[in-house]
Amino acid sequence: MSVDFGPAGALLGAGIIVTAIVIPLRVLKTNRYPSYSRLEYSLVETYSGEDFFDSSGYGNGTEATDGFTNYVTKEGAKWSNLTYATSNQAIIRVLPKDDTGTAGRPTVKILSRQRYTHGLFIFDIGHVPYGCGTWPAIWMSDTEPDIWSKHGEIDIIEAVNQGNKGAQFTLHTTDGCEMGVKRKQTGKALSNNCLNSTNYNMGCAVRGTPASYGEKLNGNKGGVYAVEWRTAGIRMWLFPRDQTPPNIELGKPEPSEWGTATADFPPRNVISIRTSRITG
């Protein structure tokens, strides 16, 4: 066997070398993973106890949720006993179907007055409604008119009907955010495209276990949901009541000690979520 080291052979060798460099770079770009280094979090704001609803706004009317729902004012909610709080819990209700009007069943949409661009958000949920026709949720988005799809949305708790397949943790964004990257999560990815206009507005949804919502969640006296939103990415956790991290219970939450997230959204180019309010 002879080997030709003439000009043609040199070009062929150069071509092989270039290919060997380009392919690994593409693989590295897809498999790279952000550094979720430890951060020191301190409490900025809390919603709890009898003051839970004092610093919240209320949605009004049917709004753009496409449900058979009539959101009442704060005064209407108080009069109808749709929202009330005790020293250790806050309740949000819906009126019985016998009281349904032509605009839909009276219920409540609560909005935080504070806006956020990053942070660690923890929700202690004791009970979630489930059953035919229900669609309860907690999410973060910009509530200004005509801004929703541009500024994106973070769905923290969402399911419909019986919710027996588990809660969905989702991002809805404009074009250019896809999750075909390396991720570390225990949940099941249902879609990798976060663009709000694809897959019937599914977004890049991740489903938790059946115990993350509905009858099983309530049977365990609820659980603790957490969202870390930072430059490195967005991660979400659900902790069953009896598995809540001690550092949360001590008021010193540290995500680096929580293990693998339920849902993980590393940045791919730019995640288009800007200022958000907490809505539920």
Q: How confident is the model at residue 272 (pLDDT cuts 50, 70, 90)?
A: very low
The yes-or-no verdict on residue 78 having pLDDT over 60 is: yes
224: tokens are: 């603790």
CB 128 within 8 A of CB 213: yes
Residue 31's Cβ-count burial label (10 Å; 0-12, 13-18, 19+) is exposed
What three-state secondary structure class fits 209? coil
Assigned CATH for 36-47+115-279: 2.60.120.200
Catalytic residue among 50, 153, 215, 254: 153
Q: What is the pTM of this model?
A: 0.82
Q: How confident is the model at residue 174 (pLDDT cuts 50, 70, 90)?
A: confident
CB 94 within 8 A of CB 106: yes
CA distance from start to end of the chain: 74
- Determine the residue type at 153: E
19: tokens are: 């290919």
Element (H, E) at 85: strand 83-85
**Kind of pairing between the strands at 105-107 and 69-71:** parallel
User: What's the distance, CA 12 to chain centroid?
Assistant: 50
Tokens 């930072």 belong to which residue?
230
Nearest to 213 by CA among 155, 258, 252: 155
pLDDT over 70 percentage in the chain: 78
pLDDT over 90 percentage in the chain: 36
pLDDT digits (tens, 9 = 90+) for 207-257: 999 999 999 999 999 999 999 999 889 999 999 999 999 999 999 999 999
Catalytic residue among 158, 178, 215, 228: 158
Instruction: Give yes or no: 228 in active site.
Output: no
d(CA 251, CA 42): 9
Cα torsion through 85, 133, 123, 58, rounded to 10: -50
74: how many CB neighbours lie within 10 A of its CB? 17
80: tokens are: 């109808």
Instruction: Give yes or no: 153 in active site.
Output: yes
